[in-house]
Amino acid sequence: MTTIHTLGFPRMGAQRELKFALERHWRGEIAADELAAVGRALRARHWQLQRDAGLDFVTVGDFAYYDHVANHIQLLGCEPARFGFSGDEPALARYFTLARGVAREAGASEAGSPALEMTKWFDTNYHYLVPEFTPETTFSLADERLFAEVDEALALGHPVKAVLLGPLSFLWLGKEKSAGFARLDLLDRLLPVYGAILARLKAQGVQWVQIDEPILGLDLPPAWRQAFEPAYAHLAGAGVSLLLATYFSPLQENLGLACRLPVHGLHVDGVRAPEEIAAVADWLPSHKALSLGVVDGRNVWRTDLDAALRLLRGLHEVRGGSLWLAPSCSLLHVPFSVADETGLDEELRGWLAFAVDKLDELRVLKQALAGDPAAEAPLAQARAAIQSRRASRRVNDPAVAERLASLPADADRRRSPFPQRQSAQRDRFGLPPLPTTTIGSFPQTAEIRAARAAFKRGELNAADYRKAMEKEIAHAVAVQEALGLDVLVHGEAERNDMVEYFGEQLAGFCFTGNGWVQSYGSRCVKPPIIYGDVSRSRPMTVDWTVYAQSLTKKPMKGMLTGPITTLQWSFVRDDQPRSTTAAQIALAVRDEVSDLERAGIGIVQIDEPAIREGLPLRREAWRDYLAWATRAFRLAASGVADETQIHTHMCYSEFNDILPEIAAMDADVITIETSRSDMELLHAFGEFKYPNEIGPGVYDIHSPRVPSTEEMTRLLDKALAVIPAGNLWVNPDCGLKTRGWPETEAALRAMVAAARAARERLGG
């Protein structure tokens, strides 16, 4: 019999129960034991769903009140000393302090203890809390939660597979907090604690432990690769069966290593690395369990079960009961259940499979492999859905394919090289040196949100909603005029979200009612789903922008979201390359840029904050990604005359390794985040001799603190030291939508003053 299991399950609950309980607890409305009761109930419900779907184990240890890496920081006894815990605080209170920091006491001069840093979990939009390591870091088996959850599941009568983040991935994902030391050196201290954990689990009666080492899919330094064999030789001593789990990325040079480690089974991601399945099946000794991730844990599409079975039948014949089936990775990254999507039409719903549905797919595959006739009906249903998706005109629009195929070869090139465009634009706009601008959004006030909500509920009609938004736009324009900014924006009041706003107006997108996935802590996002060919039927931003331009003589900058960011923050169709979908979105943006140009808008910004996070996990794959990603941007940006100025914006500035590609995007102006790094990150642009204009952020918009003119002057001087004055813009780090008006006005006033002072120094 084939064993079926899942690497992990969403924690939030079908209706985001955990989110709401957490937030109530943080507001002091419910006590820790009430929160714990919510957690316990969710786990019980989720395990039951796994059993109901016929899984051979329930997975225990994937639950977290904030983040699974943070769970391990407590489990392994390495809470950073800087939090100064006395040992008397309850574990959960300490846990939330690690996650959320200690607020500064009123009047205290100390900064409090900032939370652990948060960063993206591999190439997902889930953020984990980063462990901190110093040479003094020690480890101990310091938390009981995992064992208590195992007991819970056992008491409910479930067969249990526990899950742990492996020791090497845990160290890798952390950060060295002092110089001259390597966190890998901590491995020897860490392994005995893992050994003790495994022994405890074994004593509880757990047979299988899934030990996640996703870093086996990364380009690892030799020392890290070499550490695996001795580490796992150590863990083998615990006497519990280990399933080593890898995911997200091909194993490549680590494939042989993964197959020969002294564990009892190996899970591989058959969706991200289908080309490696045959090699793994060859290399992995036949007595070891081979867990194949054949159901996509990163995306929302129903599995083509026939195709999966074609692959599995041969393997099943050879390996028999040692073949296991699972989603490719934890189901943490997909929404809960399609059954909750009552707003989508039947056809679309039929194409989707969320976490609960994916468990069912595993059961059908298992039944089919066993020749169980119970598989017939669901297989037929899946087949029909796959065929309907393939044949649907909603998915395949011949006009879109036609247009892409017939693009002229130079469609992704501006008409003239940058120097010519720069002089045409200088003539047209006559901007002062060091022109000032902002990144696009102005404060999204409670009134704006209330108006939008009322409009969505049908309580505010379209005309009144328009009036309300125009009032906001007029206010934003008046403020910018009064401040003396040089290039204005309309403020994005009408936008809920920079991707959703465009997706709602484009063909090929749909939106779920309840398709939440955890982003960090209690925060969830509901990504759009791109199911079909993308096209634009009418202008999306022109009216608002033209209205804003009508209020001022200063240039009004149009504001669009770029194709890669849209792709990156959505669930994307899996029936064509991502590059094709990106190009389709790019053409829709290109049409919008042209319409703005025709309407007299001379400057258009195409935001691409997500271009870097789309980088593949393997460096070898970067070049290909960057080639199509930058082409998509250029397709969007190149349909305009020389004197139309294209800006782009990215909310970070670690560009060192991708500067040639950033330059190849050929935006006339790029604005980036640099203030938090004190302009240090700008040096790469200077050394590279970045050819086009650049606006390094001179103040951090992530806090309400108002920076002084002197601070910004200092940053501007640092920028002037590396960037030619004629190419330098002055702007904040990012959009201002999370800020309030008073601090926004004060900060921008100081920014304009800093720019003017610098101009005078340059002139005199």
Binding residues vs ligand GLN (CB under 6 A): 439-441, 492, 498, 559, 607, 609, 649, 651, 734-735, 737
User: Residue 675 has which token pair?
Assistant: 């203030």
Residue 640: which of ligand GLN, Zn ion, none does it interact with, CB under 5 to 8 A by kind? none
Please say which residue, 389 or 647, places its beta carbon nearer to ligand GLN.
647
Binding site for Zn ion (CB under 5 A): 609, 651, 734
Nearer to Zn ion, 99 or 560 (CB): 560
Among candidate residues 558, 651, 539, 567, the one with its CA nearest the CA of residue 601: 558
Task: Pick the closer one to Zn ion by CB: 488 or 651.
Answer: 651
Least separation in angstroms between CB 528 and ligand GLN = 16
**Shortest CB 635 distance to ligand GLN, Å:** 20
Biggest CA-to-CA distance, the chain: 87
Say which entry of Zn ion, ligand GLN, none residue 562 contacts (CB below 5 to 8 A, set by partner kind).
none
Q: Which is nearer to Zn ion, 325 or 670 (CB)?
A: 670
Evaluate whether 604 touches 646 at the Cβ level (below 8 Å).
yes
- Would you call 409 exposed, middle or buried from its count of C-beta atoms within 10 A (0-12, 13-18, 19+)? exposed
DSSP string, 59-84: EES---SS-HHHHHHHHTT---GGG-
Token pair, residue 673, equals: 């985040």
What does 272 interact with, of ligand GLN, Zn ion, none (CB < 5 to 8 A by kind)? none
Considering the complex, what minimum distance in angstroms separates the CB of residue 740 from ligand GLN?
15
Residue 668 contacts which entry, Zn ion, ligand GLN, none (Cβ below 5-8 A, type-dependent): none
Q: Of the two residues 49 and 439, which places its CB atom closer to Zn ion in the complex?
A: 439
Min dist. Cβ of residue 565 to ligand GLN (A): 8
* Integer CA distances (angstroms), 359 to 150, 302, 309, in order: 21, 11, 16
264 tagged catalytic = no
Which of 351, 425, 355 has its CA nearest to residue 390?
351
* Dist. CA 559–CA 487, nearest whole Å: 12
* Shortest distance in whole angstroms from residue 159 CB to ligand GLN: 45
Which one of 234, 264, 683, 702 is the catalytic residue? 702
Cα 326–Cα 327–Cα 328 angle in degrees, nearest 5: 110
Among ligand GLN, Zn ion, none, partner that 440 touches (CB below 5 to 8 angstroms by kind):
ligand GLN
Query: Measured on CA atoms in the order 306, 310, 313, 315, is the torsion positive or negative?
Result: negative
Rounded alpha-carbon distances, angstroms, from residue 715 to 484, 679, 691, 708: 20, 7, 21, 11
Least distance from Zn ion to the Cβ atom of residue 734, Å:
3
39 contact choice in ligand GLN, Zn ion, none (CB below 5 to 8 Å, kind-dependent): none
* Distance separating alpha carbons of residues 254 and 248, to the nearest angstrom: 14
Give which of ligand GLN, Zn ion, none residue 559 binds (C-beta under 5 to 8 Å, depending on kind): ligand GLN
Taking a C-beta distance cutoff of 8 angstroms, is the pair 460, 450 a contact? no
CA angle 161, 162, 167 (to 5 degrees): 135
Angle between helices 145-155 and 187-204 in degrees, nearest 10: 20
Burial class of 466 by CB neighbour count within 10 A (0 to 12, 13 to 18, 19+): middle
How do strand 523-525 and strand 517-520 relate by DSSP bridges?
Answer: antiparallel
Residue with tokens 């025709």: 598
160 vs 650, which CB is nearer to Zn ion?
650
Closest contact distance (angstroms) between CB of 654 and Zn ion is: 14
Residue 706 DSSP symbol: P
Q: How far is the CB of 651 from Zn ion (least distance, A)?
A: 3
Q: CA 158 to CA 59: how far, in whole Å?
A: 10
Contact partners, residue 716, CB within 8 Å, separation at least 6: 434, 698, 728, 730, 754, 755, 758
Given Zn ion, ligand GLN, none, residue 470, with its beta carbon under 5 to 8 Å by kind, binds none
Q: Are 593 and 637 in contact (CB under 8 A)?
A: yes
The least distance separating ligand GLN from the CB of residue 477, rounded to whole angstroms, comes to: 15
The residue at minimum Cβ distance from ligand GLN is 735
> For ligand GLN, which is the closer residue by CB, 695 or 735?
735
CB of 42 or CB of 476, closer to ligand GLN: 476
Which DSSP string do the residues of 282-349 spell out, in sequence order?
HHS-TTSEEEEEEE-SSS-BPP-HHHHHHHHHHHHHHHGGGEEEEESS-GGGS-S-GGG-TTS-HHHH
Q: Which is nearer to ligand GLN, 718 or 737 (CB)?
A: 737
- Distance from C-alpha of 222 to C-alpha of 229, rounded to nearest angstrom: 12
Geometric angle at alpha carbon 122, from 8 and 114, rounded to 5°: 95
What is the nearest approach in angstroms of Zn ion to the Cβ of residue 739?
Answer: 13
Supply the minimum distance, in Å, between the C-beta of residue 649 and ligand GLN: 5
Cβ proximity to Zn ion, 369 vs 734, nearer residue? 734
Q: Which does 49 bind (CB under 5 to 8 A by kind): Zn ion, ligand GLN, none?
A: none
Alpha carbon separation from 712 to 226, 440, 536, 564, 734 (Å, rounded): 48, 20, 41, 31, 15
By beta-carbon proximity to ligand GLN, the closer residue of 350 and 527 is 527
DSSP state of 491: B
User: Which positions are catalytic?
Assistant: 702
